[in-house]
Structure 1
Amino acid sequence: MDVLRTPDERFEGLADWPYAPRYTPVFGADGTAMRIHHVDEGPKDRRPILLMHGEPSWAYLYRHVIADLVKRGHRVIAPDLVGFGRSDKPALRTDYTYEGHVTWMKDWLVRNELTDIVLFCQDWGGLIGLRLVAAFPERFAAVVVSNTGLPVGAGKSEGFEAWLNFSQNAPELPIGFILNGGAARDLSDAERAAYDAPFPDERFKEGARRFPVLVPITPEHASVAENKAAWQVLERFNKPFITAFSDADPITRGGEAVFQARVPGARNVAHTTLKGSHFIQEDSPGEIAALLDGLVASLPQRELAE
């Protein structure tokens, strides 16, 4: 497997991004060594709040949420999925599979010894993050899902159909433009540039190109069986499970209903609707931080290891 690595200078001086990079080694199916990037801010003895991004963004999406939560005294961890941000990027589109992404992030989670986690996940951060919850339910204290799903081959929205067609047919994939179009507000030129930063040219975007076709929207898609098995675990997950979808996302509108109906932990908690479009982190970062702050405060006090 050939692996690309975005030069460090691409990440210098990004707007509202003062965070030091941290790296964890993982390995491809053929044994190729790669590294996954994450930021880890705030007191290390606090319960970790794990923020998982989706497509085609990176941890920069959470910059305002991170800053707000750290000010409130929390520990916040935000990784970049393989193929995104400062994480390494396999060069071939076929190097990316749904199960490969899950395996990489499972390895990352275990290597970083994360437990008692409060997860916030959006877009592919949910498709992968919820698989982590299903694999390690004992490691998670609570979950918040936003503008995401765990599909099992049952179809797609018109919004997703449009995104699928665009992502596969556009001669160039304009990442900053896509992020701007998926937010209710207009991003600044500096913010758009920060989303473009991980991708010096089209060679670095094979992961971003691949993600849309990996969503298991038909029975014939790979990972349908694995997602069905994950749902069986989620249907026994009785820790707090909150939906925080936005009010104007054309891709995942209405997707909160299945979680509220099927996950036991979603039955006795207060759900919320956030104002914004698909990339809700750009539209309502303060509300997300306040939601997570209140959720952590509601949990039993963390028992620290001796």
Structure 2
Amino acid sequence: MRILRTDEARFNGLPDYPFSPSYLEVEPGLRMHYVDEGPKDGHPVVMLHGEPSWSYLYRHMIPRVAKAGHRVLAPDLIGFGKSDKPAAVEDYSYQRHLSWLASWLKALDLQDATLVCQNWGSLLGLRLAAEHNDRFSRIIVGNGMLPTGDSRVPAVFSLWKAFASYSPWFPAGRIVQLGTERALSKAELAAYDAPFPGPEFKAGARAFPRLVPITADDPASAANKAAWSILEKWRKPFITCFSGGDPITRGGDRHMQRRIPGAHGQPHITLQGGHFLQEDSPEDFARIIIDACKSSRAA
């Protein structure tokens, strides 16, 4: 496996991203980057990004949650951000991403953690929480789901999958802008492009759409169904925080509210914004996290 590493200089001077980098090998020779802010003995809050973003997506939320006394950890998935990037699309699989994240979770020995996840952060995070449920005390999902291949996918997803697979042009910043209602600045667009200095660095981003299980015989379908069997018994707090303007995940919040016992009676909320609600409503999203953690401690 040929591994690429983005030059650190490409991340110099990014707007609103003053965080010191932390790195951990999740398998020999493969380095994962993560943000680690707030008191080290604080309650851990794990923020998982999706496609084609990185921990920069949470830059407005990290300081707010850390200021509330929590230890905020935001990893860059392998293939994204400051993390290493295997060079071939075939190097990526659903299970390998899970293994890399589980290695990171165990190496840091995170306990009693709150999971915050969106997009592919949810596809991976919900599996991670189900398979390591002793390490998580609550889950907050924004614009994400855990598909098993049994439901029809929206037409917009099929178009996105074809674009990611075949388009010679794959501009990460512009893709994030398409899923964001507010206008991103040129510097913000450049920050989303920073991890990818050339086409060969984008294999992980191109791989993700084809890894979504859309048929029942998909390699990830059985494992996701097994995760659902655990989530259907999950009685710890489970909160959905979707936005009103996302055509891909719309309705997924109500589906999870019905199936997951821990979602009953929780303060589910719909925020303003598009798919990337961290860009459109970061203050409100952060407040939901802070209130959820505060409420659970008070209980």
Counterpart for residue 175 of structure 1: 172
Instruction: Indicate whether 1:10 and 2:17 are aligned.
Output: no
Instruction: For residue 297 of structure 2, give the secondary structure of its aligned residue in structure 1.
Output: coil
Instruction: For residue 59 of structure 2, give the secondary structure of its aligned residue in structure 1.
Output: helix
Q: Give the Cα separation in 1 of the matches to 2:37 and 2:212.
A: 31
Do the aligned residues in 1 keep the contact of 2:236 with 2:262 (CA within 8 Å)?
yes
Instruction: For residue 61 of structure 2, give the secondary structure of its aligned residue in structure 1.
Output: helix
Which AA in structure 1 matches 2:76?
D
| Cα deviation code 1:188-236 (max 9, x no counterpart) | 0000000000000000000000000000011232100000000011111
> TM-score, normalised to structure 1's length?
0.95
Which AA in structure 1 matches 2:58?
Y
Instruction: Indicate whether 1:45 and 2:25 are aligned.
Output: no
Q: Please, which of 238, 256, 259 is the counterpart of residue 256 of structure 2?
A: 259
Which AA in structure 2 matches 1:56?
P
Q: Give the Cα separation in 2 of the matches to 1:80 and 1:115.
A: 20
Instruction: For residue 138 of structure 2, give the secondary structure of its aligned residue in structure 1.
Output: strand
Instruction: For residue 299 of structure 1, give the secondary structure of its aligned residue in structure 2.
Output: helix
What is the correspondence of 1:138-287 to structure 2 with a 5 Å cutoff?
Answer: 138-154=134-150, 155-287=152-284
Which AA in structure 1 matches 2:158?
E
| Cα deviation code 1:60-110 (max 9, x no counterpart) | 000000122223332211000000001100011100000110011001100
Q: Please, which of 121, 124, 128 is the counterpart of residue 125 of structure 1?
A: 121
Q: 1:168: Cα distance to partner?
A: 1.6
Instruction: For residue 84 of structure 1, give the secondary structure of its aligned residue in structure 2.
Output: coil
Q: 1:301: Cα distance to partner?
A: 6.6
Q: Please, which of 57, 63, 69 is the counterpart of residue 53 of structure 2?
A: 57
Q: Give the Cα separation in 1 of the matches to 2:156 and 2:278.
A: 19
Q: Give the Cα separation in 1 of the matches to 2:123 and 2:199.
A: 25
Q: Give the Cα separation in 1 of the matches to 2:217 and 2:170.
A: 27
> TM-score, normalised to structure 2's length?
0.97
Instruction: Indicate whether 1:113 and 2:92 are aligned.
Output: no
Q: Give the Cα separation in 1 of the matches to 2:227 and 2:36.
A: 27
Segments of structure 1 that go 5 or more residues without pairing to the other structure are none
Q: 1:184: Cα distance to partner?
A: 0.7
Q: Give the Cα separation in 2 of the matches to 1:74 and 1:225.
A: 35
Q: Give the Cα separation in 1 of the matches to 2:145 and 2:221.
A: 13
Equivalent residues, number: 298
Do the aligned residues in 1 keep the contact of 2:80 with 2:204 (CA within 8 Å)?
yes
Q: 1:160: Cα distance to partner?
A: 1.2
Q: 1:159: Cα distance to partner?
A: 2.1
Q: Please, which of 67, 72, 83 is the counterpart of residue 71 of structure 1?
A: 67
Q: Give the Cα separation in 2 of the matches to 1:237 and 1:71.
A: 29
Counterpart for residue 26 of structure 1: 26
Which AA in structure 1 matches 2:225?
K
Do the aligned residues in 1 keep the contact of 2:43 with 2:69 (CA within 8 Å)?
no
Q: Give the Cα separation in 1 of the matches to 2:288 and 2:202.
A: 33
Segments of structure 2 that go 5 or more residues without pairing to the other structure are none
Q: Give the Cα separation in 2 of the matches to 1:159 and 1:35.
A: 33
Which AA in structure 1 matches 2:60?
H
| Cα deviation code 1:145-189 (max 9, x no counterpart) | 111111111221122122112212211210000011110111000
| Aligned-residue RMSD, C-alpha | 1.2
Counterpart for residue 102 of structure 1: 98
